[in-house]
Amino acid sequence: MHLDRATGWCHGVRHCPSPNFNQRPAGEISLLVIHNISLPPGQFGTGRVQQFFQNALQRCEHPFFEEIAGLQVSAHFLIERDGAVTQFVSCLDRAWHAGVSCFDGREGCNDFSIGIELEGTDHEPFSDAQYRALIELCRLLQGAYPAITPERVCGHSDIAPGRKTDPGPAFDWQRLRAAFITC
Ligand SMILES: [Zn+2]
């Protein structure tokens, strides 16, 4: 895995460009937001998250898709259960993952954050392969964007409390934090 700083795209991962992005208003990249997602909820390896971020979800496939198919959202990265990493939006651009949000008194976290989706649910343990890929990706991003200090790695539920619950209680923050200390 290697990050091309000129383009904001990682090499050595899958690319699945999403149309759901725009410019960061100030170019700042200083926060990392961790999420979970699975489509349909609780089903893994379906390829539907990729379709969702490309506005290509088929409404008729599942009742839940009827609800969400019209949303235009994205994240910079998705890490599937087998540890495969897919990038949807350049790190230099603003992906649409956080929604109404606030970190340390600042609203609109999409403006200055990178969003990483872990394929999963709030209550199922994430896989070892996902932690390995997440730690590698976090180290890569922190190397490229030093403003992302360990204190500025958070969950979606931290910046949208009461509205969002991901990455959920099954996410092992200790495991991620320990990796930062040893890097
Ligand atoms: Zn989320």
* pLDDT per position as a tens digit, 1-57: 999 999 999 999 999 999 999 999 999 999 999 999 999 999 999 999 999 999 999
Angle at 159 between CA 89 and CA 183, to 5 degrees: 65
Residue 124: burial class (beta carbons within 10 Å; 0-12, 13-18, 19+): middle
CA of 38 to the centre of ligand 1 (A): 11
Second CATH level (architecture) for the domain 2-182: 3-Layer(aba) Sandwich (3.40)
* φ, ψ of residue 33 in degrees (nearest 5): -115, 125
CA of 35 to the centre of ligand 1 (A): 4
Residue with tokens 């699975």: 38
98-120 per-position pLDDT tens digit: 999 999 999 999 999 999 999 99
- Taking the complete model, does pTM exceed 0.85, yes or no? yes
CA of 20 to the centre of ligand 1 (A): 15
For residue 61, give the DSSP letter.
G
Catalytic residue among 28, 80, 117, 151: 117
CA of 164 to the centre of ligand 1 (A): 6
Average pLDDT, the chain: 96
The neighbourhood of ligand 1, an ion, using CB within 5 A, equals 35, 156, 166
Supply the pLDDT for residue 182: 55
Active site residue 117: yes
CA of 62 to the centre of ligand 1 (A): 20
Q: Are 49 and 119 in contact (CB under 8 A)?
A: yes
Q: How many angstroms separate the most distant Cα atoms in the chain? A: 47
Q: Tell me the mean pLDDT in the region 171-182.
A: 86
151-160 per-position pLDDT tens digit: 999 999 999 9
Angle at 115 between CA 112 and CA 170, to 5 degrees: 130
Query: Is a pLDDT exceeding 90 seen at residue 179?
Result: no
CA of 165 to the centre of ligand 1 (A): 8
Supply the pLDDT for residue 180: 73
Dist. CA 114–CA 119, nearest whole Å:
16
Supply the pLDDT for residue 183: 47
